[in-house]
Amino acid sequence: MGNFRLIILLVLIPLLIGFTSIESKRQKETSRPIPPKIGDLAPEISLPSIDGATIYKLSDLKGKLVLVNFWASLAAPCRFENPNLVKVYQNYKDKSFQTGEGFTIYSVSMDTDIENWKNGIAKDKLTWPYHVSDLQGYDSKVVSDYGVKAIPYNFLIDGTGKIIAINLRGVELAKTLDAQLK
């Protein structure tokens, strides 16, 4: 009978340890930040620019309409969307909106290689000044804070810092900006 109890304990202990590991994993998964939604204040972003020395804070752009754009230079869908972003930036950067003066793009690169990032900006002629990254890709805290699962992905933020639209592309982005004009 003693051997039977020993066998039971040897079988149950690893199972119990396994269940607590699963439960811990579940707790970690559910403790992730809730992604922001329309109407929420945009979470702060404070990341280094392409030069590595300048830190651009999203909150410094309050008073403008801002498209927070998550992208990567090696992602074909992002590169395909970039000409649309260039056109929208050129057309709206100096316009007056209901809740802000001017429009800009705050590009959060999910690249992990700085040379790829620099080359993508240059080749696609991304002329706006706000290019930031911690070069951590999907492991970046900012990516987690915003709930980004795939790219390109973006958030349109009004002059007060509130999210007014999510994941706009091409014509839909221009239409949304038109609707915000004074």
Q: Which CATH number fits domain 46-180: 3.40.50.300, 3.90.1150.10, 3.40.30.10, 1.20.1740.10?
A: 3.40.30.10
- Please count the residues of the chain: 182
Q: For residue 102, which phi and psi values (nearest 5 degrees)? A: 90, 165
Q: Could you state, in order of their start, the residue ranges of all structural domains in the chain?
A: 1-31, 46-180
pLDDT score of 15 = 44
**Residues in the chain with pLDDT values less than 70:** 1-32
Lookup: tokens for 37? 């939604």
pLDDT score of 27 = 43
Indicate yes or no: pTM above 0.85. no
Say if CB 42 and CB 161 are below 8 A apart.
yes
pLDDT score of 105 = 98
Say if CB 167 and CB 77 are below 8 A apart.
no
pLDDT score of 10 = 52
User: Any residues with CB less than 8 A from the CB of 65 and at least 6 apart, and which?
Assistant: 92, 97, 99, 100, 102, 103, 104, 156, 157, 158, 159, 177, 180
Which DSSP symbol is given to 147? Answer: T
pLDDT score of 33 = 73
pLDDT score of 133 = 97
